[in-house]
Structure formats: C-alpha cells, structure tokens
Amino acid sequence: MDPLEDDDRPLRPEEMLRLIEEQQATTSKRLGGDPLLTYTPWGIAWAVGFGALFLNYTYGFLPRGAALSVLFSLMILALAISSFAQRTVSSQVRGESAERGMMYGFAWMFGLGGMIALGVRLSPQLPADETGLLWAAGSMTVVAALYIAGGAVWRVRTMFYLGAGVAVLNMIGVVVGPAAHALLMSVGAGGAFVAIGVVQRVRRDGA
C-alpha cells in the first residue's frame, strides 16, 4: 500500500488518542533534552571537584590550587555538555522558548562572570581557607539561584528542588566552614545531581 494513503487512514478513537499522547510525550522528551546529560555532568563535577577540595582541607592531599582547578574545569565541562544537550532539537525552534533559553543562558554567563570578578578581587585579601570557600560558595550560590530560576521559567519542579537543596546545603556549609562545605557539596549536591540524571533517564526510557 502507498505509505501516504496508509498515513491518511484513521484508526479507532482509542488508537487515535494514544497516537496523540505518544506524539506529545515524544516531543516533550526530545525538546527537554537528555536528563543524563543535563544533570549528571554537574553531579560528577561537584562529587570529584569538591571531593578533591575536601581531601585538601582535611588531609592536605593535593595542592589547594590544583583541587580548585579540577573543580572549575569540570564545572566548565559540565556547563558545555548540559547546554549542548539542551540545544539538539530545541535549536530548531524559534520564538518565545528560544528567547527564554537565550536569556537564561546569559543569566549563567553574567552570574558566573560576577562571581569570578569578585573572587579575583577579594582572593588576595583573604586567608587561604577562606579564599577556597569564597570561590566554592560563591559559584554554588549562582548555581542554586539559577536552578531555582530555571524551574520557574520552564515550570520544572525537579530543577526547582535541586536548586533549593543546593542553596540550603551551601548556606549550612558556609556557616560550618570550608571542609564541611566541600563535603556537603561533594556528597550532597554531587550525589543528588548524579542520581537525578540517572533516575530520570531510566524512567524516561522505561515510560
């Protein structure tokens, strides 16, 4: 049979309804990007980077600068991977949602830019441990606020709760001190983001 005519043929109502639901689910899934690439790279960056920083504070393993470099390089890599994951199909869409995505991308750039400027300016004035905390807590404040904002922009509760969770752990860490902060970020924030990425991917593929 001609595939076009086959396409044209209606099905029974319940099959047509299922067709609608399946197509809507596929579309949202593809536009939303791969959760494994969206969340997990951040989780790995923090688990490893803050893990290295914790080992430095507690046991003196690794030079401080090396631990911070590992953390920031992995975060830049995570930012690249997660923005790439969002851009696959959504780069084909123009209009309101593309504009939102672009503005949100700028929020990351300006937020992290401001944090870097602050770090560069204040680092020489601070004791060594506090310098590490300034960079770590400053960048996590930006991350937490932007995840919460991302949850609001796209109405994604997972993003909102992840951001709020990071914000709380970040505040506790700052109050307790550099080593506790590194541990909370490594295990708490890192673990949560790795787990959410994996769980959502498995759930998505199973659905």
Partner 1 sequence: MTAPRELDPVIHAQARLRVVATLNTLGEANQIAFPGLRELLGMTAGNLSVHLGKLEEAGYVEIVKTHKGRTPTTYVSLTREGRRAFEDYTAAIRELLDLE
97-136 residues near partner 1, rule: CB under 8 A: 97-98
Pair of tokens at residue 72: 């920031």
Q: Does residue number 58 form part of the binding site for partner 1 (CB under 8 A)?
A: no
How far, in Å, CA of 123 to CA of 102, rounded? Answer: 31
| CB closer to partner 1 out of 7 and 205 | 7
Q: How far is the CB of 37 from partner 1 (least distance, A)?
A: 18
62-91 residues near partner 1, rule: CB under 8 A: 89, 91
Q: What would the x/- binding string for partner 1 be over residues 22 to 41, using CB under 8 A? A: -xx-xxx-xx----------
**Whether 111 contacts 146, CB under 8 Å:** yes
* Region near partner 1 per CB under 8 A, out of 18-26, 58-66, 144-152, 160-168: 18-26
Q: Does residue number 155 form part of the binding site for partner 1 (CB under 8 A)?
A: no
Supply the DSSP symbol for 39. Answer: T
How far, in Å, CA of 88 to CA of 32, rounded? Answer: 10
Angle at alpha carbon of residue 174, lines to 167 and 150, rounded to 5°: 20
- Full DSSP string of 149-165: HHHHHHT-HHHHHHHHH
Interface residues with partner 1 (CB under 8 A)? 3-4, 7-14, 16-17, 19-20, 23-24, 26-28, 30-31, 89, 91-98
